[in-house]
Amino acid sequence: MPTLVLIRHGQSSWNLENRFTGWWDVDLTEQGVREAWAAGELMRDKGLDFDMTYTSFQSRAIKTLNLALEAMGRLWLPTEKSWKLNERHYGGLTGLDKAETAALHGDDQVKIWRRSFDIPPPLPEEGSPWDLAKDLRYKGIPIPQTESLKDT
């Protein structure tokens, strides 16, 4: 029977800073690198092997995959990258501190934005420093301004 293994990226710098990340491309921390390597060792030790791998366009996910595959001795496996595997787009919440956002808007509102199936976070402000329009990896892709879980 085929096996599907899903791995979330290791700790990123914005995870450590408790910031909303979404589509913004942030790097792994040293701990995130260790977590990715440990995931690969665990999969190797459990005897898992793969024919194909998939990842998002986000560097933290690509690095996590590559580190895990290297730990497994499977860095040569084919990988398909798709923007459709990116984390959800947090829109106007991108880059904001989660605790400060909850203090400003209330825990209930932030929970609605984060966990509701069909209610997206607010749109980003015009001129946002987190605008991805000029990011070459998304050339020709309809970049969302924000996404609910339903949209992803």
- Catalytic residue numbers? 9, 87
Amino acid at 88: R
DSSP 138: G
d(Cα 103, Cα 137) in Å, to the nearest integer? 34
Q: Are 81 and 25 spatial neighbours (Cβ–Cβ below 8 Å)? A: no
Q: Which residues contact 44 (CB under 8 A, 6 or more apart)?
A: 71, 72, 73
Q: Are 148 and 116 spatial neighbours (Cβ–Cβ below 8 Å)? A: yes
